[in-house]
Amino acid sequence: MFEPDELSKRIRQLRIVWFALMMSVAVFASGVGFLIRSDGLGLGQAVSRGTLIYGAIVTVLILPLAQIIRRKVQAVPPRATPEEVVRRWQTGWIVGQALREVVGILGLTIALLAGSITWVWAFAAASLVSMFLSPPWEHEIRTRLRRATADPNAPPDSR
């Protein structure tokens, strides 16, 4: 089993990654917002409105997909070692956060192409709020570890 300090150390590292991902979207949103307000690129008519709306819808659909993919990656096989449980949880968490960041970056790029400050705030908010609401919780990994050690023969869906 893991020492409490070892798990806490891993969670602290993931929180640094979490913060960096959120800041990348925030900084990009600030830059895109500045460009749109100053009409720095004049891209508002570069792409058809229908294409931009279609791209925006597809981008927003990535948010629920992030949770589905995260759960698939985190699935633990029967008789998994504690290290494997932690490793899969970490990988799933990172994949989920990365997809949430993708929503922000793609959405902000679409907003830049559309020349819409409203879209900048909407995509930045969707990405940042979804990332903010899913930090790396230490209790979540501890619960997974307890479940894995309590019943090693349980089907993977129950974990």
Taking only the tens place, the pLDDT of each residue in 45-62 is: 667 778 888 988 998 889
pLDDT at 159: 45
Looking at residues 105-127, what average pLDDT do you find?
91
| Nearest to 32, CA basis, from 104, 82, 138 | 104
pLDDT at 143: 86
Mean pLDDT taken over the chain: 85
3-state secondary structure (DSSP) of residue 50: helix
- Higher per-residue confidence, 45 vs 78: 78
| Nearest to 103, CA basis, from 55, 132, 135, 60 | 60
**What is the three-state SS of 107-128?**
HHHHHHHHCCHHHHHHHHHHHH
133 in Cβ contact with 97 (< 8 Å):
no
| Nearest to 149, CA basis, from 54, 79, 102, 86 | 79
Instruction: Output the pTM of the full model.
Output: 0.80
pLDDT at 150: 66
pLDDT at 98 over 80: yes
